Every structure is written in structure tokens, then in C-alpha cells.
Chain A
């Protein structure tokens, strides 16, 4: 009985997936290597060929440094060259090198206008064969995000958008819907305690605000290590952050 039902359901799933993704959609995902996070995401990881959105929380909305480093950690775990589109060149590459990106791997494309960032990202995504395309953007309207998502679907390249506002008040924009497959908010938290004076491993509060066909969740994680991996922070390993709140899933 159950076996037959499983068969029917999996058959239905396949047919729906064939309807949704036109043509030969490249499937696959990039797992975080953290079972609890991967379990929440459909496909057990960040999907390739999709748009993912990251924003900083708290005072990090203006500089977006945690969001940028988180995106860099994801990009570092993909294969192939990375294109990073931006307008404000204040990234300090040694920090990105510390999460596993190689200097010879990342090409920066700096433009004067905000609109060019989206156009450049689209061009890089449609080129194919890249590991990931990262863009730092102030505004991400529905139309732009939809275009990026469609191009990413076509070539199977991962698109990562780091939202970066100029003022704290502009950050309300993050409430607007976009076509991104997942949306994350990364906020900094006090670092791990060391037995001696000093700063331990940085920790982030990771909120999965939206995940297409998945649940929302929040995690407290240790920041990216030298290979771009995050892990669930030791203090929260007892599961107190496990209660995923499904505010607007789907």
C-alpha cells in the first residue's frame, strides 16, 4: 500500500518538475554540509541554477559585510571561475581569501550605475560555465530578479545577490517580494568565548526568510572557515533554534 503510494507520489513529482522547468533544467544543489540546514532546504542544499538573496541584519544592512562573506563562502565551494559585480569597490580581498576564494578565480566587474550590475550579472549568468555570479545591489525589483532567476535556470549557474543599502531606512525594501529561490538574512552575533582574552570564531544568526517549496528556519552558525564552510554553533547544538517558523513559505 505505502510502496504503491510512494511510487505514485514520486511519479507525480517528476511530472510536476518536468512541467515547471522548461527543457533540460540542470538539477543539483550545493549542500552546506550541516545536516540541520540541508534538511530544511529542498534538494538538500542551495540549488544550482537559481537566484539566492542575502542581506545583512541589524547594523549590517549598510555594510552587508556578513552577507558578502556568507555569499563568498558559498561561491568558494562551487567549481569554476566567479564573477563579482559591484558598484562600490570597498571589498578587501584578503578577507575573501580567508574563506577559500582564490585571487585568480574571482573577476570583479565594477560599474558606475546600479542598473549595470543587474545587466552584467545577467550577461555572466548566460555565458555559462561559471561557478557562481555574485552581485551587490541596492534594489532588486521583481522584474530584475525574475530575469536573473530565468537565466540562472537556463545555464545552471548559481546567482547570488548581496543586498546592500545606502541607509538603514532603505532596508525596508527587503520586505518586497522577489523571484529569488531562497532569501537569507545574516546578522552578526557575539563571537565564541575563548578561555583567554580575545575574539573567538565569529558567529552569525542565519535566517532563512523564504525558500521556494520549503520551510523557513533560523540557525545560529559559526562563520565560514578557510574553505567557506559554516557549522552549527556549539552552544546552540541542543536544538533551541530548531523551531522553524513558517511565516510565508512557498
Chain B
């Protein structure tokens, strides 16, 4: 629509000149942001998109669907509309994302043909002229074009059309040339002869780490996230990402993180280039170590935390949380968090094992405030020999309004055999408003 016509339709329309340069700069910035957050391989796609290779990186965001929904929501929070598609190939994702009405789509593995056959040929990443000429010949959709014999088309339009079709269907490789900023710290090593043996890879990764650390030291930085990009002979790229909990500039620490996962590298026909990039780096200043004769040196064990975290284990510490309700009184914090030594209540017994969900038990007890005489738990009857309690816990009305009246009365009981349990009654034993007066098993003492 020409500007004059639009102004006639909409009164008071504000016109701003298109600024392709600023657009592409913004797109570059967006790509760098995605590089630090989602995947080591990111490139700008056309004038209005970004392409990411998220293979092996989506699990860090909880899977493909949570990842792309998260991306869309992030943009929506900034009042922008983003569309995201995941497919096996760059070409298919490029076409799908520009064709969908919804925000997100995931093309299942091997379903590319069905997904793209109805899409218009303008989404094939071909020059405008070629698309128009194909339209003149009567081609409208990708499906029609791909079902036509190749030779006459190649004769008329060159090999470009066939190449784009093959790339879309995954019959031809379509490498993504990842973007890099100037201030990224990167080192690389090309090989005259392709390498493949694990020992050789380890050796060169070790050398690259030494170079990277020297480079980081020059700039006073420490790596938080480091990618090892492996370029193979058959023009495919594999990436391994390692994160650290604190900025790191230690050769042994970083080397260990990559050597742990050498076995994940598939050399295929051979590796021709290794590249090591500190994607995310933070300032790391030199520290003076106190050298004292008496003071015990405590070893920093952040490297160990990183080894566990990069293997996919959950590493955490517990910290007290101000709450009287047992299951809320502990919270998990990061294993490298600075922690003050606040204490839990120490004078009341606490069980070693606490059940996720309290298990209902049958109990015979005098109301309102006596411990039970017998309980039946998991089909087994226990006679209560000794007991302590009640310890009354009130609901937290500031969290949920239906806890306003809630009360739990905790008892420690011991049976004939000496087993000690933590049980509670929902409610104070008098007022039915405070709880159901049912009994629950909540933990086991030592």
C-alpha cells in the first residue's frame, strides 16, 4: 500500500522511514543475546529472523516446547510479537515460521514433507526474480515444485532452485555460519590432516584451553560459559557447551570440564578444526592470597560443583527459610551461594526423613491434646509407648487464604520396638474449622 493511500484511510497516521541499517543492528544484538542464552550456533536469517541450532541445547531450557514458549513470552513481555518454529532443517523452519498464524510450531521429525508441501514458493529463500518467474510458469506451492522433474527447471533457473529444495528436505547440508562479536574471546586450531582419536582431541583441547586462559588473563576476564565448536570434514558442526558456577580462568578446571565429555564428540570422517569460545565472560580480578602460617587453607571446590552440574546432576545446598511449617522451612540454594549460618530451631526434635506428602494413618487418641494410644500405618499397627507433644503449627494466611484457620499438632511417638515417628493431626482437636482431625505420618526419626 502506498503511503499516500494509507494516510487517506487512517486519519492522523504517523509515518516513520524504514531504517534497514538500524534493523539489522538490532537483529545482530538479538542474535548475540540468543547466543548467550540458548545455543552456541546462532545466525541472522534474512532480514527479519534469527536461526538457532538448538540440537542438544534445548534440555537446558526444559525441552523444545517450554523453550520456544519461553522465547515467545519473553518477547511478549516487551510488547513485541515473535514467532518461533522448530524443524529438522533450516529451510523448513524458515518457511514454517513465516507461514504460521500461531506463535509457535514444532514440526515432528520426518514430517517436513507434509508440513511444507502446501506452503507458497516465496518461502524458499530464492531471489525475488526467480520466484516471480516460477509463478508465471504456474507453480504456486512448494509441493508442486518439488514434484516437477528437476532438469528443465535447472536448465532455465540454474541449480539454485534444486539446491534450496534439497536443503529444505534435508537432502543437502545447510551449515549455519554462527555469528561472533569482536569482543568474544575465541581461539581456534585447524588441522592439516583430520583428527579423530580421543587422545588427539584431548591433547588439542588442552592446548586450546591454555591459549584461551592466556587470552582471558590479558583482558582480566573469567569464563562463565564456554563452547567447544567442532568442525568436521563433511561440513557439519558439533558444539559442546560447558558452564561454570563462578568466572573461571583455571587451566585444569576448564580442561576437566571438556575432557569429561570428549566421548560425546562424534568425529565421523574426521575433525578439521576445533574452536574454543568463551561465550559469556565476567570480570575476574586477581586476588591476593593470605599466606599465613597458622590459618588453614580451605580449598575452593567450585570446580567440583561444575563437574557435577555439567554432567546433568542437580547440585544444591539447603538453607533455612523463616517458616514454621516443616516442609517450607528448608529451601534449596545454589551450591556456591554465600550463606549466613542462620539456624533452624535446635531444641525440638526433627526427623531425618521427611515425607513429600504426609501419609494418612489411623489413630486412636483422646481428644483434644493427647498423643495417640495406637496408630496403624501402611497396614501395620504400632502401640505408642512414649510420646512428646503437641507442637502446634499454624497456617500461613499470608500465603494462601484457606490456611487462615489451619492448625497442625505434631507429636513425636515411639513404639515398642523403639522406632520413632513424627505424626500430626490436622486441626486443634476442638474446632472443626481448623482441620479435618485426621492423623498423618510425616517423618521418621533415627
A interface vs B, CB < 8 Å? 58-60, 63, 65-66, 68-70, 79-81, 83, 90-98, 102-104, 106-111, 116, 120, 123-124, 127-130, 186, 188-191, 197-199, 202-204, 223, 226
Contact = CB atoms under 8 A, between A and B. Distances in A.
Contact of A109 (B308, B349, B420): B308
Contacts of A96: 352
Interface stretch (B209-217, B318-326, B391-399): B318-326
A90 B335 contact: no
Given A108-B315, A110-B316, A223-B446, A92 B341 contact: no
Interface stretch (B73-81, B171-179, B381-389, B400-408): B381-389
A81 B313 contact: no
A124 B304 contact: yes
Contacts of B311: 116, 120
B307 interface: yes
B446 A202 contact: yes
A95 B352 CA distance: 5
B354 interface: yes
25 contacts: A59-B419, A63-B353, A65-B445, A81-B301, A90-B353, A90-B356, A91-B352, A92-B351, A93-B330, A93-B344, A95-B445, A97-B344, A98-B346, A98-B349, A103-B318, A107-B301, A108-B315, A108-B317, A110-B315, A110-B316, A120-B308, A127-B304, A188-B419, A190-B418, A191-B386
Contacts of B314: 108-111
Given A83-B304, A198-B386, A198-B387, 13 more contacts: A63-B353, A91-B353, A92-B330, A92-B352, A93-B318, A94-B350, A104-B317, A120-B308, A127-B304, A130-B301, A190-B417, A197-B386, A202-B420
Contacts of B346: 97-98, 226
Contacts of B318: 93, 103, 106, 108
Contacts of B446: 65-66, 68-70, 95, 186, 188, 202, 204, 223
A38 B335 CA distance: 35
Nearest to B297: A129
Interface of B: 296, 298-299, 301, 303-305, 307-308, 311, 313-320, 326, 329-330, 335, 339, 341, 343-346, 349-356, 385-388, 412, 414, 416-420, 443-446
Given A65-B446, A68-B352, A106-B317, A129 B414 contact: no
Contacts of B445: 65, 95, 202
A41 B388 CA distance: 37
B66 to A, nearest CB: 18
B417 A58 contact: yes
B349 to A, nearest CB: 8
Contacts of A97: 343-344, 346
Contacts of A92: 326, 330, 350-354, 443
Given A65-B352, A65-B353, A90-B356, A191 B301 contact: no
B412 A199 contact: yes
A199 B317 contact: no
Leading 3 A-B pairs by shortest Cβ distance? A129-B299, A69-B446, A92-B354
B333 to A, nearest CB: 9
Nearest to B355: A90
A98 B313 contact: no
Nearest to A79: B296
Contacts of B354: 90-92
Given A65-B444, A93-B330, A106-B317, A123 B350 contact: no
A155 to B, nearest CB: 11
Contacts of B387: 197-199
B350 A98 contact: yes
A10 B349 CA distance: 48
A124 B307 CA distance: 10
A94 B446 CA distance: 13
A103 B443 CA distance: 20
A26 to B, nearest CB: 15
A103 B320 contact: yes
Contacts of B341: 102-104
B308 A123 contact: yes
Contacts of A58: 417, 419
Nearest to A58: B417
Contacts of A204: 446
A70 B148 CA distance: 76
Given A92-B354, A103-B339, A120-B313, A80 B298 contact: yes
